[in-house]
Structure 1
Amino acid sequence: MARPKKRFQQLIEEIDRTPWGPAEQALVAEAVALAVELGDERLEYEARMRQTASANMGGATDVMLNSFAWCLAHHDADPQRFPADIDNGSADLMWQFKWMASSLRSSPAFSQEQIAAVLDDMESHYRAAGLGLSGVLTARFEDAWDAGRFDDAETLRVQLEATPRDEHSHCDACGRSQFAGFFAETDRDADAIRLVEEMIEGGFSCGEEPEHALSRVLLPYLRAGRLDDAKTAHLRSYRLAKDNPDNLRIVAGNIVFAAVTGNEARALAMVERHIGWLAHDGLNVDAHFAALAAFAVALDRVTAAGHGETPVRGADAASLVPLFGPHDGAWGAADLAASAWAAAERIGADFDQRDGTDGHSRALARMRALEAEQYDVPIRSDAFTAPAPSVAPVDADGWYERAMQLAQFGAEHEMLEALPRALEVEDPAKLAQLQSMRLGILIALDRADEAAELLPERIAALRAAGRDEQADLEERLGLATFGLNTPEATAGLEEEIAAAAALPAWSRGDLAISRASLHLQADEADAALDLAEVAARAFAEAEDTRLSNTTTLVAISALLSKGDIEAASSLLDRFLAQDDVSAGHRAQAHQTRARVRGAGSAYIEGATDADESCRLLAELGATRALAEAHLLAGALWEDADEPEKAVARYRLAARIGGEAGGDATATNFRMARAMLRAGDAVEAAELFGEVLQQEEQAEVSPGSRAMTASMLARSLSAAGEFGQAVGAHGYASELFGEAEEHADQAMAMTEQAKILARFDENDDAIALLESAAEIVRQAEDAAGARAEVLHSLGQAYGGRGDQRAFGLFDEVAALAQEHDAGWLLADVTDSRGRALAELGRVDEAVAAALTAADGFAGLGDSGAAGGSELFAARVLAGNQRADDAVPVYRSALEHGGEIPQLRQVAALELGDVLEALGRHSEAAEVRALTES
């Protein structure tokens, strides 16, 4: 183990390269403890200066105040040994001073006199150090604003704007964000929006920016009628803020947005996700006030939407009792809203008493006034489950019908849940049927011992119903007729079938269908079909429609098992055309036909079947089965290239499955993917981020997480958030590498490089592509990935006139020829032409580009053909060969006939070339094409 001082230095280095968060906080705590153990106050000072900054970013106010006070006392006692600035970012006492008054103000436990003393002490230190007063004015402005002294705050704001900026001023991001928040709160929405948009357009960011600024202009955007901008700002702000408990105030603003925009289910989900944060930082009471008011607004909207009895998960935590008070059972939305308002009012009164103002009561009044505001900004990642049209049975006979229908579909768990009330029926024949269904389900769930204990009840019910021969049969066979798959059970069935001639028709059918099911399990489809036919005749003789239809479904399964799709489809169609099919059987048949049609690429028809199965299951009151049915419907609508419809089905599947206690991670991945396909990149990015977080917590395999990270990166790119997309692609490549999925790792690196090149970070892009090329060569069976990576690296080299490009183009061309990839061959030929042009090899460049154009045209891609010709024409025109360029431009025009942008560019450039050649009438004629 390293010596203590060496270990301390290692910790400091690790702290300085670790992002803010729990891991970094643990390292800081270890460094402080080690310095204390060493008894070295200079080292302790280094560690505690970092601890102050760390605690500020992590919302550990008590730690921050204690650490700062220790450091300030040591600095004041010996400024030389304990300098104000240790040259480590925010580890600067004078910078940290700005956090102190704000932290004291955040709790009514600190008096106004204490806050004023800190502000005065701050100004004294600044003046003594010869620093500018911008930082002091900022702290005084924040104090006046937070206390509700708006006139004083406005005076200080104006003074602050006139004061020269210095190294202790707020950064561009924080300064704009702060003023934007003040403007929004003082009804200057246009000014608030202007400042935030300046910040975004300038690319300014900081520890909690731009997420804080974006949250501050959500309501101003809505009031200005800029609903799309508001939605984009919300999704970005929330995605950036949702993982740090210190961002509670930011999250509160986003919850209010969801509440007033018709997204009550989303608002409830956000409340549930963050309600535990109220216990995170006991001294940040002002953030608790803001959050409680936001929660109350949201829960009022949930109640108004008809879901006031919905339980709010997490609200009954013991740590929240001091805020909400004791409660019997789970908190419903309506009750919790009232308690949240009461807690916010109580806290607000404490602040107003401390400040001698009515600032917090006015803030609450503004929140209550939001009841009159409503905007339509649908966000589809959360929604309340549509109430199922099912009506609960009112008596035992009704529950009997419900249980039987559920069993006929195969909704095993739901049938067992309905069974206790169904078993209250008095008819012994019905009891016998219920017992039969129960035994079959228990066997299917591998609960044979439990089934064996219940078999005597089934036999007793049969005897009570006057069916002694069937009772005798089941006494001899035990659980064989209920699906038990053992050699003894199979032998018993075979023996009874051989001697079945004297049995009643129903019993003969029962034996046959039981053995047919075992044949199916053994992949003996023909034998299953033969016995299904025997069973069908027997049940028809017994006039049992229910079991006749069950037998048809077994026959359909057998036909599908042997691959006879045409016969199975025909039988399914005839079956669904019958008018004597129960809802349970009909739902099962529609679901089976949905899968068959999906497998045959009849996606729309299959999706329609799946939707009908969902409708029937909803009527039956199914839960888990309904979630799975919606998942199937979503997959089929996605395959049908109807992502909007897929999103709706996936959302229902996720919500129903989640309410039933299931894991909705996989469904949410599908929903996010469909959102991306539907063009909702920002929403998709948010949902992919949540899925990735859930996968991290569940410690799923690196390869699976890598795929999610890759999809997150694609969504971020589509949403225009390229900086975060680079990071997500980088994380995906790390995970793919960990999973030894070399082709995918190289592709992630390539996508990362493309974004870097887009912003002229060409050296970094090429370095990434070179690494990707080395990695992808390890994936010999991934020709597509090798071609993409090597082609991209070749293009990057070619853009710099690097001769190494041509060897890579040769490799890609060879892959294209080997795999008969004509379009790729044309594309790499086009890239070769562009690289040749960079080297001034005009004739070769033009020849390559025209060869590429011929290749594209031969494949029917007129747009790509025209693009290659346009490039060739430009090369000729740019090298004083205008006459040669004219026919090439004309060919590009012809290929661009149905591509307006290509046609317009080619026409304009050709017009200029003709004009330069003195062919004025031709130039005018060509230019006229741009107006047609």
Structure 2
Amino acid sequence: MTRTLDEANRAVSTIMSMPYGLARSAAAEQEAARISAEGPDEARAYALFALVDSYTSTPEAEKAFLPFTRLVRWWDEHPELFDGSDTHSLFWSFKWMVGLLARFPSVPTAQIDATLDDMARRYALAGNGTSAVAGERFAWLRAQGDPRAEEAYRTWITTPRDTFSDCAACLPAGQAEYLAETGRVREAADVVRAAVAGGATCGDEPAGMESLLELLLLDLGDAQGAAAVHRSAMSHLDAAVSKEVAVARHVEFLARGGHPGRALRLLHAHAAHVTVADSPGERFAVLTHVAVAAGVLRETDPDAPVDLDGVPVRTVAELDAWARAQVEPIARAFDARHGTDRYARLLETAWERRARRLPVDLSVLAAGPRDAAPAEGAAPAVPLAPAGTDAASPAGVDVDLGGSDRVAAALARAESSPDPVEASRAYVEASALAEDEGRLEDAGFALAEAAQVAATLGDDEGAVPAFGRAISLLRAAGTDPAYVGPVVRAAAAVQARTGDLEAALAAVERTLSAVGTTAGEPVSAPTPALAEELAARRADRAAGEARQLRDVRARLAATAGRYAQAAAEAELVAEEFGRAGQALDAAHAFWLVGSARRAAGEAAAAVDPLRAALEGLASAGARTSGAAVADELVGTLRALGRDAEADAVAASLVA
């Protein structure tokens, strides 16, 4: 039965609202095929555009060419079936195609020239503005290393804006990249600063242009400014749609800024970016930054270990050689197509950056917590209530120090400061003041806050010892282990990043044991009934924290590569979460089961837990996490040759 236009459009709109990935692309493929075969014809343009859009920001970007061609043909045959939104989308997609074609050196120059000329002709016939055409013409001339690029750049930035112009964030980002490439570093930095100050954002910004700005500031010798920009860029990174190049820039920045450990941690955290890219052009950019970073790092520690899936290297020195060997053929392929040496010159410039270094202080807890550990059994203060899932406290507890005016003032500064660095240091001050007053529990929770803020800003080196001391303060205060647990879990996440897994596991085990020991202890109260009620509450609190700690223990096992152990424990925890009515936590635990089994090479055994995770996340309305699980499930099913099941999963996301 043919659906109504509203029904078809709602299905496509659902796809357009999904995060990019395998699942979205699969759903878009099915919807475009269904509408093309069954109608309604008025929805076909929207469905084809959704398919083009779904491909363009994924490693399957090359697949966008065919549905784009079908979309253009449909316009030529039936322009009356395009509404205003469809028409705008069609002309907008020309920008994507010209840029995308240019990023594949196998596409002949003549084809790109023809596509750009066709874009210009169609824009003129439709009465569209010329800003988009000017922008794509400049970008294509720049890509070729054509001497006319400078004139085209001036034309682009002086052409009046229209509805097809780049957004207020993409335009300055493109300007800055060109200015930096042509040696106008300060001018490029000023362009980005102005855009960021003006609040320019889009799917990839400001994460992308801030990652460029931090490198520009290194070259300008502004260490303090570079540190501030780096922290801001990292805070925007997760929200970016395409973050591969931004991450690679951060890796180079950290290497050249004197932070080899952070550089390698970030690279390992995003290992897939080294081997998977949307296009050869993106791969060239990523590998160039990685090679610059590796070249810097190998000078001081060539044998530093590297373990990246799909990359046949074991040390930084080998990574340097491998990345250069990978990127140089890409450069030659582009230069061969263009008949210029632009990409060869880009590499020469990149290799020169290895010698341009500037120590950048990225520490957040510069003042640092006190070194001496408090004595076990010191007089405890009143425990602070644990925070729920909606708590603002980054350490997982609600801090309310009260007490002296000095402590309250420090806490007020921490909570009101727009600068997270200053907030973290104010928490440290509040902790020290509370400790001086003998309120060890308050001091511990405040220091945990400082540590977590530092961790979110990338200062794992400062966060780990601060967390350690915070936990010692809490234990010395006699804090209920169920309240210490959230801090231990927050610390474990940071320790996992720094490679101190055994210490994290030991802290989790010790806290689990303490939670179990205190859960059944009697509670003093004025009446037996109240004592029974309080004891029940304590038991529930202890059981809930024990589940969370076991979940973290399973995740630490997975991080350590002990996949069988991780899957077994996560499955038990998932079932416990389910019995406790914690559906979202159960779904995340089942996700871990599936991921661990996949990592262990047990793809077939990963399917059911991934299905359970997808169902749970869908029920909880967790769309972003659900899309990530759907990608994993679709990829697993396809790898197993179970394409019909993969298609059914994709279809369920639309239904």
TM-score category, normalised to shorter length: 0.5 to 0.7
Amino acid corresponding to residue 125 of structure 1 in structure 2: R
Match of residue 55 from structure 1: 55
Q: Is the 8 A contact 2:272 2:309 kept in 1?
A: yes
- Structure 2 matches for 1:626-665, cutoff 5 A? 632-633=468-469, 635-636=471-472, 653-654=495-496, 657-658=499-500
The aligned amino acid for 1:231 is A
Please show how residues 467-506 of structure 1 align to structure 2 within 5 Å: none
State the shift of 1:139 in Å.
Answer: 0.2
Q: Which letter maps to 1:288?
A: R
Which residue number in structure 2 is paired with residue 358 of structure 1?
A: 341
Give the direction of change, closer, same or farther, for the CA distance of 1:238–1:73 in structure 2 (3 Å limit). Answer: farther
Matching residue of 2:104: 107
Residue number among 123, 127, 132 corresponding to 2:129 in the alignment: 132
1:119 corresponds to: 116
What whole-Å deviation, never above 9, does each CA across 1:492-544 have from its counterpart, x for those lacking one?
xxxxxxxxxxxxxxxxxxxxxxxxxxxxxxxxxxxxxxxxxxxxxxxxxxxxx
Change (3 A) 1:309 1:259: closer
1:19–1:663 CA distance, 2 compared to 1 (3 A)? farther
Partner of 2:249: 253
Aligned to 2:153: 157
Does 1 or 2 have the higher relative contact order (CA < 8 Å, sep 6+)? Answer: 2
The corresponding residue for 2:295 is 300
TM-score of the superposed pair, with normalisation by structure 2: 0.57
User: Which residue number in structure 2 is paired with residue 924 of structure 1?
Assistant: none
Deviation at 1:14, TM superposition (A): 2.4
The secondary structure found in structure 2 opposite 1:168 is coil
Query: Are the counterparts in 1 of residues 131 and 160 from structure 2 also a CA contact under 8 Å?
Result: yes
Query: 2:188 is paired with a residue of what secondary structure?
Result: helix
Task: Please state if 1:288 is matched with 2:283.
Answer: yes
Match of 2:8 in 1: 8
Aligned-pair CA distance for 1:361: 0.9
Q: Matches of 1:50 and 1:633 in 2, distance apart?
A: 52
Secondary structure in 2 aligned to 1:203?
A: coil
8 Å CA contact 1:50–1:91 kept in 2: the answer is no
1:734-780 deviation per Cα after TM superposition (whole angstroms, max 9, x unaligned): x9x979xxxxxxxxxxxxxxxxxxxxxxxxxxxxxxxxxxxxxxxxx
Quote the offset at 1:25 in angstroms.
4.2
Per-residue deviation at 1:227? 2.4
The whole-number CA distance in structure 2 between the counterparts of 1:183 and 1:661 is: 47
Amino acid at match of 2:66: N
Contact 2:256/2:356 (<8 A) preserved: yes
Superposition deviation, residue 287 in structure 1: 0.9
User: Which amino acid in the other structure matches residue 197 of structure 2?
Assistant: E
- What letter corresponds to residue 305 of structure 2 in structure 1? T
Which structure has the larger Rg? 1
Contact 1:259 1:301 (C-alpha < 8 Å) held by counterparts: yes
Q: Is the 8 A contact 1:654 1:664 kept in 2?
A: no
Equivalent-residue separation in structure 2 for 1:77 and 1:155 (angstroms): 37
Find the partner of 1:375 among 341, 352, 358: 358
Opposite residue 216 of structure 1, the aligned amino acid is: L
Pair 1:630–1:35, CA change in 2 (3 A): same
Rounded to whole Å, the distance in 2 between the matches of 1:738 and 1:664 is 33
**2: CA distance, partners of 1:129 / 1:143:** 23
Give the residue type in structure 2 aligned to 1:220. L
- The AA in structure 2 aligned to 1:306 is D
Q: Name the SS of the counterpart of 2:127 in structure 1.
A: coil
Alignment partner of 1:34 is 2:29 = no
Find the counterpart in structure 2 of residue 314 from structure 1. 309
Instruction: Say if 1:147 and 1:357, in contact at 8 Å, map to a contact too.
Output: yes
Displacement of 1:95 after TM fit?
Answer: 1.3
Amino acid at match of 1:224: L
Q: Secondary structure at the match of 1:246?
A: coil
Deviation at residue 111 of structure 1 after TM alignment = 1.4
1:87 maps onto 2:85 in alignment: yes
Shift of 1:255: 1.7
- 2:177 matches 1:204: no
Alpha-carbon distance in structure 2 between the residues aligned to 1:372 and 1:187: 17
Alpha-carbon separation, structure 2, partners of 1:738 and 1:95 = 35
Q: Show the counterpart of 1:171.
A: 167
Q: Is the 8 A contact 1:134 1:163 kept in 2?
A: yes
Say if 1:352 and 1:359, in contact at 8 Å, map to a contact too: yes
| Alpha carbons of structure 1 residues 630 and 124: separation in structure 2 relative to 1, 3 Å | closer
Opposite residue 192 of structure 2, the aligned amino acid is V
What CA deviation, in whole Å up to 9, does each residue of 1:37-83 have, x standing for no partner?
Answer: 425544332211122223224453123222211101111223223x3
Compared CA separation, residues 13 and 111, structure 1 to 2 (3 A): closer
Residues 341-420 of structure 1 mapped to structure 2, 5 A cutoff: 341-379=324-362
Q: TM-score, normalised by structure 1?
A: 0.41
Distance of aligned partners of 1:65 and 1:738 in 2 relative to their CA distance in 1, 3 Å threshold: closer
Tell me the equivalent position of 1:147.
Answer: 144
Change (3 A) 1:110 1:45: same
Where in structure 2 are the equivalents of 1:257-268 lying within 5 Å? 257-268=253-264
Query: Any unmatched runs of 5+ in structure 1?
Result: 317-326, 383-559, 566-596, 607-626, 668-690, 706-734, 740-932
Q: Secondary structure at the match of 2:354?
A: helix
- Give the alignment of 1:220-235 within 5 angstroms: 220-235=216-231
1:195 counterpart (191, 208, 218)? 191
* Residues 162/41 of structure 1: CA separation in 2 closer, same or farther (3 Å cut): same
CA distance in 1, matches of 2:265, 2:8: 43
The question of whether the paired residues in 1 share the 8 Å contact of 2:307 and 2:314 is answered with yes
Residues 381-420 of structure 1, C-alpha deviation per residue, up to 9 Å, x if partnerless? 99xxxxxxxxxxxxxxxxxxxxxxxxxxxxxxxxxxxxxx
Once residues 45 and 254 of structure 1 are traced to their aligned partners in structure 2, the CA distance between those partners, rounded to angstroms, is: 39
On the 8 A contact 2:378/2:476 being kept in 1, the answer is no
Match of 2:391 in 1: none
Is contact 1:603–1:636 with CA below 8 Å preserved after alignment? no
Q: Deviations over 1:270-305 (max 9, x none)?
A: 222333234444x61011111111111222333233
User: Which residues of 2 match residues 713-728 of structure 1 at below 5 A?
Assistant: none
Cα distance in 2 for partners of 1:28, 1:630 equals 48
1:737-886 equivalences in 2 (<5 Å)? none
For 1:226, give the aligned amino acid. Answer: D
Contact 1:631–1:650 (8 Å) recurs in 2: no
Aligned to 2:432: none
Deviation for aligned residue 1:103? 0.7
What is the alpha-carbon distance in structure 2 between the residues aligned to residue 664 and residue 370 of structure 1?
42
Q: Greater share of helix residues, 1 or 2? A: 1
**CA 236–331 in structure 1, closer or farther in 2 if over 3 Å, else same:** same
Q: In 1, are the aligned partners of 2:4 and 2:40 still within 8 Å (CA)?
A: no
SS at match of 1:334: helix
Contact 1:256–1:294 (Cα < 8 Å) also in 2 = yes
Deviation by residue 1:804-846 (Cα, 9 ceiling, x = unmatched): xxxxxxxxxxxxxxxxxxxxxxxxxxxxxxxxxxxxxxxxxxx
Q: Cα–Cα, structure 1 residues 133 and 314, in superposed 2: closer, same or farther, change >3 Å?
A: same
Structure 2 residue aligned with 1:274: 270
Inter-partner Cα distance in structure 1 for 2:354 and 2:315: 20
TM-aligned CA deviation for residue 663 of structure 1: 7.2
CA distance in structure 2 between the partners assigned to 1:364 and 1:262 by the alignment: 22
Please name the residue that 1:74 is paired with. Answer: 74
AA aligned opposite 1:370:
R
Seen in structure 2, the aligned counterparts of structure 1 residues 42 and 663 have a Cα distance that, compared at 3 Å, is farther
User: Does the Cα contact within 8 Å between 1:263 and 1:378 map onto a contact in 2?
Assistant: no
Cα offsets for 1:11-49 (capped at 9, x unmatched): 134235545566654543342233144255443322111
**Paired residue for 2:399?**
none
Q: Quickly say closer, same or farther: Cα 1:121–1:112, change in 2 above 3 A.
A: same
8 A Cα contact 2:5 2:42, kept in partner: no
Q: 1:738 to 1:346 in 2, by over 3 A?
A: closer
Give the AA of the match of 1:10. R
How far, CA to CA, are the matches of 2:494 and 2:48 in structure 1?
Answer: 50
Aligned residues: 434
User: C-alpha distance in 2, partners of 1:196/1:240?
Assistant: 15
- Report the Cα distance in structure 1 between the residues aligned to 2:267 and 2:68, rounded to whole angstroms: 33
